[in-house]
Amino acid sequence: MKIAIFCGSMSDRKLMKNAEDLLKELNILYIYYIISAHRLPDVLLKTIQKIEIKKVDVIIAGAGLSAHLPGIISSHTYLPVIGVPIYNYPNPLSGQDSLFSMIQMPKGVPVATVGINNSYNAALLAIRILSIKYDKIKKLLFKFKEKTRTKLIQKIEKNL
């Protein structure tokens, strides 16, 4: 087990589907937790404590509105935590609330934030982090980038 993904509700999980799709495509194992930081704070804490035993290397956490989930996780762990600010249409404030809540963390508790609703990049960032430790994943990442590149070039040539 290398990656743990957290979000606060099933509807957030749907908005973060791109992350799961990428991890599945690359056959990278992950464990998923759906726990609201605010409504089940004690369950969240117990879960974070169990994670290090489970040999998780990187954590991804998505949250909307007052998006505290990744920050709270980061305050309870030594692992790198990647945050995905979620914008769930037709919420007002265009995801600026989630982005600011997530990224403006105080000194000492970093959250590696990616673009609004960009869970794909969160997964790819997690893989890049794993790749500095696991050679197998580094090779996988190389092959994946090569494949993506080839597809992009073919697409361009087709369009010209």
Strand segments, DSSP code E, in the chain are 3-7, 30-34, 58-64, 81-86, 112-113
Is residue 142 involved in binding its own copies (CB under 8 A)? Answer: yes
Amino acid identity at 12 = D
Is residue 141 involved in binding its own copies (CB under 8 A)? Answer: yes
The smaller minimum CB distance to its own copies, of residues 8 and 62, is found at 8
Is residue 154 involved in binding its own copies (CB under 8 A)? Answer: no
- Which of 15, 58, 60, 61 touches its own copies by CB under 8 A? 58
Contact letters (x/-) for its own copies, 64-103, by CB under 8 A?
Answer: -xxxx--xx-xxx-xxx-x----x-xx-xxxxxxxxxxxx
Q: Quick check: 97 and 67 in contact, CB under 8 A?
A: yes
Strand partners, 61: 6, 83
Is residue 106 involved in binding its own copies (CB under 8 A)? Answer: yes
Q: Quick check: 60 and 123 in contact, CB under 8 A?
A: yes
Strand partners, 65: none
Give start and end residues of each alpha helix (H) in 37-118.
41-51, 69-75, 96-103
> What is the distance between the alpha carbons of residues 6 and 151, in angstroms, rounded to a whole number?
31
Residue 75 C-beta: closest distance to its own copies, Å: 4
- Which of 128, 136, 143, 147 touches its own copies by CB under 8 A? 128
Is residue 20 involved in binding its own copies (CB under 8 A)? Answer: no
Residue 30 C-beta: closest distance to its own copies, Å: 14
Residue 139 C-beta: closest distance to its own copies, Å: 10
Q: Quick check: 111 and 60 in contact, CB under 8 A?
A: no
Is residue 147 involved in binding its own copies (CB under 8 A)? Answer: no
Is residue 53 involved in binding its own copies (CB under 8 A)? Answer: no
Is residue 62 involved in binding its own copies (CB under 8 A)? Answer: no
